[in-house]
A and B are shown apart, each in its own frame.
Chain A
Amino acid sequence: MSAPQHSFRTVARPVATLLAVALATAGCARGISAEGEGPDVDFGASPSPGGTLQVMGFGTGDEIGQVRHERATQALGVDVKLSEGELDPQAFLSAAAAGNPPDLVYAERDQIGTFASRGAILPLSECIDAQGIDTDAFVGTAVDEVTFGDELYGVPEFNMVQVTMANADLLDEAGLGLADVDGSDPDAVLAATEALTRRDGGKLSVIGVDSKLPEFLPLWAKGRGVDLLSADGRTAQLDDPEVVAALEHAVAVYEAQGGFPDVKTFRDSADFFGAGNQFATGQLGAMAMEQWYVNVLNESSPDAPLAFGPVKGSDGEVHAFATGSAWAIPVGASDPAAACAYVARMTETEAWVRAAQARADARAADGLVFTGVLTGNEEADAQIRDTVLAQDPPEPWRSAIDAVYEANEHTFALPASPAGAEFETAWQDAVNRVLNGQQEPADALAQAQEEAQAALDEAWAGWDEKQ
């Protein structure tokens, strides 16, 4: 036997063995969805004592999370393990692909349709029944966002809505009021932008109005009576003339102050979360923004000259594009009953009211105004407003609170779809191409319409096939 052959064999054999071991241990990619597993889950089972509940995507970063979590954990008597921080789809997907999904995930509501359409999360009707969760108490649009194919796949919580925020001093100096910048009169917004904008040595020194593209295009389109996606989640409406007009107007607001790059770079250079925010330094006239920023302003620059009101469409109506979180139970969760019970305790009215009280107490201790919390549960929202919020908060916080609650009563949301991420990419890319000067609004949206519709058709075809 010659030496080279010999050495090949001696090397090859152990390597082949190792490869076989590797194949066996690393396993193959598998989906987690199993046909017909849904109905077999017993949501009424009592949690096994001493059990552990694995939760992904939820953190107890503030009183609102902490108080509810402690309350729910005590009621259940199980050990709840949180992997904190925003839900990392990569981590969830790897865990799912490895056949080891968590018991519960806390996701953005717009991800629920995608997870549900692929059979990755359980339908929750039986969970709702078993735990007596009162879905009527939830905000309607939030429930719609997590309803897919007539089934509820998520329990919503929190509601983010936009309100108009403005610098009252800048408005006064220009002889303007909130009505000029709240969106109710598009021409007035353009005129106000010109009146408020200041340039200093060729550089923008005051942003007149920030129309917050790309993220708020759905809001501006709604103000003209159009949704980006049809109510059944199947048809993109991105090339609707009113969507094009909404985008053109929002872009014109940027053009009126030197173009989007100037506004963006000026915005990038400022401290958004600190005492040097652009409202406090008099560098920003007005913008629509989610209500959590009211809290930021209240904490970081309580004495800034602010004015708040709802966002209105050119139809004169109040609108808010609602987003938020939701709880969902992955297929293959080891203890779905405990997960369901935990969700029920986290989202019930009393949990929210107690958490809000804790937050209000903490803010009072710091000498700050509690500006409210939108829970996604209308009953809780009403109780918090009646019993926890100060009855006569000082201005401008009183009008901020009024605007937030008014917006919460006029929300819309994009319906659940199996191609939520692709749809969002399509329209946001289109807006970005316009902002970067690469395309005109109509062309960009026409392209987005094609891309989005193709993605929707493909994803819905996959779902329809399964039915």
Chain B
Amino acid sequence: MTTSARARRERRTGLAFISPWIVGFVVFTAWPILYSGYLSLTDYDVLTDPAFVGLENYERMAADPQVRLALWNTLQYAVVQVPLYVLVSLALALLLHQAGRASGFFRTAFFVPKMTPPVAVGVLLLLLFNGQYGLVNEALAAVGVDGPSWTTDPAWVKPGLALVSLWSVGTAVVILLAALQDVPAELYDAARVDGAGWWRRTRTVTLPMISGALFFVTVVNTIAAFQMFTEAYSAYFGAGTSSYSNDAALFYVIYLFREGFAELHMGYASALAWLLFVVIMLVTAVQLLVSRRLVYYEGEQR
């Protein structure tokens, strides 16, 4: 009895300590999520009361070619951007790991671009990847390559955005670098004694040992790729004084934003949000399943 009373007291104390988080979660996360589920079943323009319409929004979604376009755009972007981002951040982290004393400086240097507001990155994209006068194409021209029209050719818009997303690669580099520094030196020593070269050590020691961090970077970045908005919106749906846009950059969240806030179809936008939620859940679930075979966590028995 006394132990259970004490356990109860401790539980209560614990709950009291995390109650600010519980309140925040319930009020600002759980409730809006549940409520958007209800709104997705209504015709709601924000200005008048929501009217219940059942599954009408979902039926409309199934027939909406723009939804298919936006999903397809987003998927294509994620497939290009995620591997690119993870590989580049891994390569930079491996390099930084070798940098010894100077790594502190480079760590900061890589992280600094992350401080640039995403809207500015969107505008920067238009300048760097300018088809005629951009730095990227001028560099390509220097090695004899005739660069594409990154900012107007629908086929090159997404690659351009994926490349410019590397601007903020610093976060992932810092995470991976921390993981690299945690790999016990004994493992490398043992591998060296066994005659393993750099590539062999990286493949059989380094990668398995940092697979937890790599998995985290991949999952978080996949979710971010599916929610891509700011850079694409500022570059292609509101830049400068022109109303030029490019539907190769019509990502899912941009379409959702347009429906909800520009055209006041908030019920429809809520339904769109739920579809995206389901898609991201599925993708993440698949990643989790695959990760069971590939990711090693310390303390695990193998």
Contact = CB atoms under 8 A, between A and B. Distances in A.
Contacts of B50: 29, 31
Contact of B149 (A29, A261, A438): A261
Contacts of B39: 29
A15 B22 contact: yes
B118 interface: no
Contacts of A265: 130-134, 149, 151-152
**Most chain A beta-carbon neighbours within 10 Å: one of B4, B48, B248:** B48
A93 B130 contact: no
Nearest to B27: A22
Contacts of B244: 213-214, 264, 432, 435
Interface string B27-44: 100111001000100001
Interface string A7-28: 1001100110011011101101
A279 interface: no
A266 B133 contact: yes
Given A120-B47, A268-B127, A429 B132 contact: no
B264 A30 contact: no
Nearest to B11: A10
A215 B35 contact: no
B12 interface: yes
Contacts of A365: none
B47 A118 contact: yes
A268 B26 contact: no
Given A203-B133, A429-B245, A422 B47 contact: no
Given A18-B23, A268-B127, A432-B246, A93 B151 contact: no
Given A31-B46, A266-B133, A93 B261 contact: yes
A33 interface: yes
Nearest to A270: B133
A215 B242 contact: yes
B247 A272 contact: no
A47 to B, nearest CB: 26
A32 B264 CA distance: 14
Interface in B280-294: none
Nearest to B270: A29
Interface residues of B, number: 50
Interface string A213-240: 1110000000000000000000000000
Given A422-B263, A429-B245, A119 B153 contact: no
B196 interface: no
A1 B237 CA distance: 61
Contact of A28 (B35, B154, B248): B35
Contacts of A22: 23, 26-27, 30-31
A354 interface: no
A433 B248 CA distance: 10
Interface residues of A, number: 58
B22 A18 contact: yes
B154 A438 contact: yes
Contact of A10 (B8, B245, B263): B8
A421 B133 contact: no
B246 A32 contact: no
B130 A269 contact: yes
A280 interface: no
Interface string A424-447: 010011001101111000000000
Given A93-B46, A266-B133, A23 B11 contact: no
Nearest to B133: A269
A266 B12 contact: no
Contacts of A19: 26, 30-31
Interface of A: 3, 6-7, 10-11, 14-15, 18-19, 21-23, 25-26, 28-33, 89-90, 93, 96-97, 114-115, 118-120, 203-204, 212-215, 260-262, 264-266, 268-269, 272, 419, 421-422, 425, 428-429, 432-433, 435-438, 455
27 contacts: A3-B7, A7-B11, A10-B8, A10-B12, A11-B11, A18-B19, A18-B22, A19-B30, A31-B46, A31-B47, A31-B48, A32-B47, A89-B262, A115-B47, A118-B47, A118-B264, A203-B132, A262-B131, A265-B131, A421-B262, A421-B264, A433-B247, A435-B152, A436-B152, A436-B246, A438-B154, A455-B263
